[in-house]
Amino acid sequence: MLADASQNISSGQLTHGVELDSSITSVIEFIEVHFPQFREKVDGEVTASEKSLTDRLCKYFNRNAGNFPFYFHHENVEDYTTGKSPQVDIGTVSRSEQITIGDRSYNEWDSFFSMEAKRLPTPGQNREKEYVIGHDRPSGGMERFKKRIHGKDLKYAAIIGYIQEKDGNHWYLKINEWIDELILSTPDFWNMDDKLIEKENPSGNLRKFISKNFRTELNDENDFISLFHFWIELI
């Protein structure tokens, strides 16, 4: 089991209240340890691009994942049958040829836990809310998971946040404010479960949240994906 490799990692509290497969727990605990350490490498980079930060984050994760039965792949292709496939920023892939999580199986090419990265704030005109939703196309981090553009076969995924202005408290309130607006305007797709909930008090250089996100219906049944949110402040 992937969990066997994580027994030397401090157990985080982000998973409290969410029943997880041990393999997912292993990846979450890995991120909880190594993402704050990565911050020390990029501290002060308040104008660095999302692509630059995420490329280095993926390399840093892999450098520290040598003894773990999973690795990370930057710009992981979602659908190998088309040359126009979306790409998620970081995919988590098992080193074995197949892994089963809950009732779903993933082969040697599949990401079983995907991560999308966003800068806070997102620079550019009309991109302020892109952590949640895009302006004129589905480019929002949460939106892309909810619409199955990313992680259509996943039950768990994550959004990485690089805070380059303000602080975590500001963005926690602001993002939930944007979701409140969406609940009023599109209540058939956004609801209170989409809002971020902090799972433990702020500590160190990492802020951690969780949201349970309704997705488009699958086989006439409601479907949800649990998103784990990890933020570091680069200021």
* Tens-binned pLDDT, residue by residue, of the chain (235 aa): 444 443 333 334 454 455 688 899 999 999 999 999 999 999 999 999 999 999 999 999 999 999 899 999 999 999 888 888 999 999 999 999 999 988 889 999 999 999 999 999 999 999 999 999 999 888 999 999 999 999 999 999 999 999 999 999 999 999 999 999 999 999 999 999 999 999 875 557 899 999 999 997 766 567 899 999 999 999 9
Phi/psi region, residue 33 (left: phi>0; alpha: psi -120 to 50; beta: rest), is: alpha
Q: Which of 174, 158, 157 is nearest to 166 (CA)?
A: 174
Sign of the alpha-carbon torsion through 106, 142, 169, 39: positive
What's the rounded Cα separation, in Å, for the pair 216 and 93?
A: 25
pLDDT at position 102 is 85
Residue in the structure block whose two tokens are 């993933």? 106
Task: Write the single-letter amino acid at 2.
Answer: L
State the pTM of this model: 0.90
- pLDDT of 79 reads 86
Cβ(112)–Cβ(106) below 8 Å: yes
pLDDT of residue 219: 65
Measured distance CA(228)–CA(54) in Å, rounded? 17
